[in-house]
Amino acid sequence: MRRILFTALLVSLFCGAAAAIPIDLTTFTADPDYDVFVSPDGSYSTIYEDPDLSSVWLYHDALDVTGMLTLTFSYDFVEGEGNDDVLDAYLYDSGIGPSAVLAEVFVEETGFGTITWELADLDMSIVGLEFDLNAYDLAADSYATISNLALTPIPEPSSLLLLGATLLGLAATRRMTRKVRSA
C-alpha cells in the first residue's frame, strides 16, 4: 500500500504543471476599423464579424516566450445562423511576420474549447500571436471570445533537484529503518 501511495505522489509531482502565467489581452493590438472588445482587466476579448467580408483581428507581435513550455487559450465561437465564417488563431515568427506560421487552428463551426501549443522546441524567444474572425458571407452576426490566454513555464531545474534530494532522503530513511528493525 505504501508503495502505491509513494508512486502516486511521485507521478503527481513529476506530472504537475507549473503555474500558468496569464497574458493580458490589453497589450494586444485590435483592428481599429471594426468591433473588437477587450475587457478592462485584459482577461478576455470578443471579436465581432465584419459586415464588409473582411478579416477582423487581434494580435501581439512581440510575445516573449523565453523559458515557456506551452501557450494555452480558450475560445467560444458563435457562428450566426446560415453563416460561413471562420475563427483562425496562429502563432508566427515575429522576425519574419504573419506569413511564417508556427502553429495554427481553424474553428469553422459554433463551439468552444481550449487550445494548447507546445513552445519548448521553438528556436526563438519572441513570437507573434494573432486571432482573426474571417467573414465569408453577407450576414454579420458571428463573434468569437478569446479567454484564459496563458503561458506555462518550464519547471525550474532547482525544483527538480530539490525533489530528487527529498526522494533520496526518504530512501535513505527507509533503508536505515529496515536495518534497525532487522538488528
pLDDT number for residue 8:
45
- Domain with residue 68: its CATH number is 2.60.120.260
Residue with cell 507549473: 18
Angle value at C-alpha 176, between 170 and 180, nearest 5 degrees: 145
- Full-model pTM: 0.76
pLDDT number for residue 160:
57
CB of 78 closer than 8 Å to CB of 143: yes
Determine, yes or no, domain membership for 2.
no
> Hey, what's the cell of 6?
509513494
**Residue 92 is inside which H or E element, if any?**
strand 86-92
pLDDT number for residue 6:
53
pLDDT tens digits for the chain (183 residues)?
555 445 544 544 555 557 899 999 999 999 888 889 999 999 999 999 987 878 899 999 999 999 999 999 999 999 988 888 999 999 999 888 888 999 999 999 999 999 999 998 888 899 999 999 998 888 888 999 999 999 999 886 655 566 666 767 777 777 777 766 666
Q: Which residues contact 14 (CB under 8 A, 6 or more apart)?
A: 163
pLDDT number for residue 7:
52
Number of domains in the chain: 1
| Residue 175 Cα distances to 32, 63, 158, 162, 171, angstroms | 68, 49, 26, 20, 6
Determine, yes or no, domain membership for 11.
no
Determine, yes or no, domain membership for 8.
no
Determine, yes or no, domain membership for 13.
no
Residue ranges making up the domain that contains 100: 18-182
Ordered alpha helix ranges (H), 16-100: none
Cα 48 from Cα 145, distance rounded (Å): 9
Residue (of 64, 139, 127) closest to 100 by Cα position: 127
